Structure 1
Amino acid sequence: LSVGVSPHVSPSNQPTLESTHRQRGLSTGVKVLIGVFTGVGVLVLLILLRYYRVFNSHWRNNTKGATNVEMFLESCGHLTVQRYKYSDIKKMTNSFKETLGQGGYGSVFKGKLKHDGRLVAVKLLNESKGNGEDFINEVATIGRTNHVNVVSLLGFCTEGVKRALVYEFMPNGSLERFIYNEKTSDTPLGWEKLYQIALGIATGLEYLHRGCNTRILHFDIKPHNILLDEEFIPKISDFGLAKLCPTKESVVSMLVPRGTIGYIAPEVYCKNFGGVSHKSDVYSYGMMVLEIIGGRKNIDATVENISEIYFPKWIYNHLKQGLNYLEGSEEIYKDETTKKMIIVALWCIQTQPADRPSISKVVEMLEGNTEDLQMPPNPFQDPLSISSPNHENNFSRR
């Protein structure tokens, strides 16, 4: 037997070189397409997974925040302020028609109470702040207060992540409007009025530190947070960073610094300067009073003279020489009341907390005679070289 190729097999049935390459090319193209679709699918899946995690985390935080707020409200028992529905908030603000101000906390709208027609300011907190800490701080602190120099909280609203606070309306807005733009203000404030405002703020702080059952530390005293009524009586506002402190405890614990740059006391961001206490509010108050005096921010790089960039240091150097040497500013500093405010403010911004007076002492100094005030030590020396035992004996226990 012989084995051979059948003569009936046609050459066309045999795979050619061209068809083999075509099949291989088709197979490679399919593989590329499969790889592309697989990669895109994995990418989409990762994006969806990431979105789910973010959404789930946001939902959990909001849910946890809402729970924390409700637990806090239950622990407070019967509150003296009224709780509103979110629909009531929309009605009293006419669907948030007129905006009074905006900030990192949210927005403030003008409103009117239905039962008595009284004008109010409604602060609508951002929903992104889902932990409810700012809201709890406001209700826990200002809800306990009743003082002519502290803004009154009239009511609140909390529905899920929607939170609002209802305050008495202050027609003259914030203090910063009058001290930074006094030349363009419709009603420029004289030095006597500015002195009364400074004294009123100090009196309000004294009430927070000593007049309540639980001491309230504000931690954000600045012109923006001082509101003025129709008679320019100052009201301390915005207690979102406030902290309750038992009156017997002089130092409070703080994990994260709080406040506004330019007004924060050194010990708030650096423990080497001492413990955080009511003296931290005193420092902020002093920096604010210096801005009232200067009619400008304490740090201003646009001034002509380099020595005037940091106003507190500039004013201290001139105070040490005597206010008669303030060229071009005689109309500001000739008044004894103004000189008194400068001296008190410089005492308040001492680097060491023990060297600062308590806010009660500040009120006493403002109400007293200028001749009775001592020259404050230089608050701009090297902190390590500052040691004033005589001053510490005067103020550390007050």
Structure 2
Amino acid sequence: MDAFESFHPVPAAWLRESDLAPLIPAYVCRLASRHYAANTVRMYVYGVAHFAHWARGHGVDLQHLCDAVVRRFIDEHLPHCTCPSPVQRCRHQVRAALRQLLITLADAGGLINSDQPDAVEEQLQRFDSHMMHARGLAETTRIRRLGVVRALLRFRAVDDPDAMAAPSADELRRFIALELLRISPASASSLAGALRAYLRFLTLDGVCVDHLLPVIASPAHWRLATLPQTLSPTEVARLLDAFPPELPSHLRGYAMVRCLVDLGLLEREVVNLELDDIDWEAGTLRIRKGKSLRLDVLPLPQTTGRAIAAYLRSERPTTVNRRVFVRHVAPTDEPIRPDVVRNTVRLAYRRSGLPYTRVHILRHTLASRVLEAGGTLKEVADMLRHRDLDTSMILRQG
């Protein structure tokens, strides 16, 4: 039977004409084994067919397929695509489909690295390794800094083939000016920090950057100038009531929010929580690699424990993954990412009619609650795993 018989004639024809044709059965089997819905599998195959059609028309050798080719298709072709239906033009879905294609190619031994690998991505991998192993930075911080540095390197690559070298002072000023047009004032400090970190990383290769550091001016930031937002007890109750039984994954969402409200966990700490970190008999929770890169043991409140237990018993899918909170849709057997925690909280705010968006407010709320109950700054700092009391002192100013 024709492997493409069940698909629309247009994408089926594109696949038959492509060098990817022999790989499609393995690609479909991979998606099915990871519990992707049948309609999602079909849409992903159509995304691959669209890519194959474009690659054939542009003379792209699929034996040398790499991330750079995929990005070229997504960034250059999709925004101006006039290919006939049915095609996938959703960047998010096409990117996910082609990511699975690259994995399938690698598993089949058909992926041959280009003789000229993407120098930008290689440089970013080196920078990421430095941040993780030499600096001990958290994943969320590394991702944020990699985004800034990727934008800088792509910006320089337009005019300078040697984009990996240190930028000139003028290039750095122009890049910062462009970034400041699109980011909020609150993000300016993060931008400055990422650029400084990258310039210092370049010194490992003997690059002199001392003359560039003054170009990166930090905005004024008075640590104790403003008080953080907090939720009132009534607002906390409304937030916790925003997970009705008819809501998809309501037990997971409720358990995650209880971890944020009752324990003041960070998003990444919720994501990294493992089954072995919970001592049900002792009633404790172990937090790995927090801000201070140490191991912390916190008491597990009964309300939090009951919420986690209900999720584990009644909603968590069968999986070999040891993370507490895992994906409920394909690909299964994988933990959630921090954006799932953020979206869960933001949607709960919206359902409860609260005018907030940030997850960190829940951490501030817990600290404020402890202080109002007579707790000390030292107790707050220990609970939130702050490295100095100044951070906790902001709440005392109120």
TM-score, length basis structure 1:
0.27
Hey, which of these two has a bigger chunk of helix by percent? 2
Hey, which of these two has a bigger chunk of strand by percent? 1
Please identify the structure whose Cα radius of gyration is greater.
1
